[in-house]
Amino acid sequence: MLEARDIELISSISGMSGECQSITEFVDAVLVPMTDLFKSNSSLFYTNSNQTPGLSLQDCFANNLDTLYCDIYQSNYHQQDPCYALLGQSSHESKCVSVSTDQAIDREHHYINSAYYEDFLQPQNIHQSLIFTIADRKNYYGLFGLHRPLHKDAYEQSDHLKAKLLASHFSTSLKALQASMARNDEQLALTAMMVRSSMLGFITVNTQGIITAKSADLTNKIQGLVAIPDHQLWPMLLDSFTPEIRQFCINALKGHTLQVTDSIEVPSCAEKQLPALFISVPETGKLTVFFLNEGARNNISQGKLKHFNLTRRQQDVIHLISEGLTNTQIANKMGVSPKTLESHLTAIYRKTACHNKTGLLSALRP
């Protein structure tokens, strides 16, 4: 049976966890009040290095514990921890599993005379532990550990109930936090690529046709996008495409795997006042549209061409790519077959360690 104070603390901690913008903020917000809630002397949180089911410890955050001990536990002692062993056996049974010392040991006499207890727990004044996972149906986000000294009572069923209630809220908070951090990482990576490649900007579109990432000030840089709100931007672009390019985008967003390429080029559209575009499919159900700066596209570093030991023919291919020509146009202009051009591209990508034309042009900028 939980006390009114416990319920208030659980509600407060859960609310704080949902307001955090980083893992560090999350830990700072919840560890200290959790230590109080569970009447413990110390607590910690390990992030999980493997998002699929299966416990794998990564970064550790601790309250009232020397982080050196966390590193030692992770590298030497977690396999000797009876709670961790039982947790691993039970983790497939539920989204949240909690285990305490009294559940994990057969005989207390054997436990307190073990090397794990004498060499690791006792120096930290730890006698009882409660650990529980934070997970949902798809991902394991990490685990919490709480500790009591010898003179305190063992963790009770009410403590396991507290853990399950908190774990339910924490899994929702951490799922949203990871999604937010992934979007921020994607935005930073695309912005860096845009700057290096002298692009005008980019947008990323999801399966619902919703823009999930967009470079700053994009609509003010491109005449054809001025005053167009985000929810109308992608439909407008689709309408400007040829049927072939439109079908490529539709298939990519539906996750169809029949595409022969993961990218496509779109010539500039004078009628819509749009620059040339490069559309890439970084993963199933998502595509990124790069708005190309035509004035900077043929700006290739001769020094980098030499650095990558590119042949004269390969350099010709690169210069034609920088002019915005399609593969068919390049093959026709060079008087070679599409298969021969493909061989040139394969060799270029191998030498430059690039995977597509956008990355290639980025790598060869002065």
Q: What is d(CA 106, CA 192) in angstroms, rounded to the nearest whole number?
A: 56
Residue 192 confidence (pLDDT) above 70: no
pLDDT top residue among 289 and 74: 289
pLDDT top residue among 210 and 299: 210
The pLDDT value given to residue 189: 62
Q: Over range 242-254, report the average pLDDT.
A: 87
CB contact at 8 A, 134 and 159: no
Both tokens of residue 178?
Answer: 């990871």
The pLDDT value given to residue 53: 43
The pLDDT value given to residue 220: 84
- Which DSSP helix (H) or strand (E) runs through 251? helix 243-254
Q: Residue 40: which of 176, 175, 159 has the closest Cα?
A: 159
Contacts of 20 (CB under 8 A, 6+ apart): 26, 29, 173, 177
Residue 191 confidence (pLDDT) above 90: no
The pLDDT value given to residue 24: 85
List pLDDT tens digits, range 2-53.
889 999 999 999 999 988 878 888 998 999 999 999 999 999 998 875 544 4
Residue 202: beta bridge partners?
290
List pLDDT tens digits, range 50-70.
544 445 567 888 999 887 888
Any idea what DSSP says for residue 361?
H
Q: What is d(CA 231, CA 322) in angstroms, rounded to the nearest whole number?
A: 31
Structure confidence at residue 148 as a pLDDT band (50, 70, 90):
very high
CB contact at 8 A, 54 and 92: no
Is the pTM above the cut of 0.85? Answer: no
Residue 213 confidence (pLDDT) above 60: yes
The pLDDT value given to residue 37: 95
Residue 90 confidence (pLDDT) above 70: no
The pLDDT value given to residue 185: 62
Structure confidence at residue 361 as a pLDDT band (50, 70, 90):
confident
**Residue that is written with structure tokens 């947008």 in the block:** 203
CB contact at 8 A, 15 and 26: no
The pLDDT value given to residue 284: 64
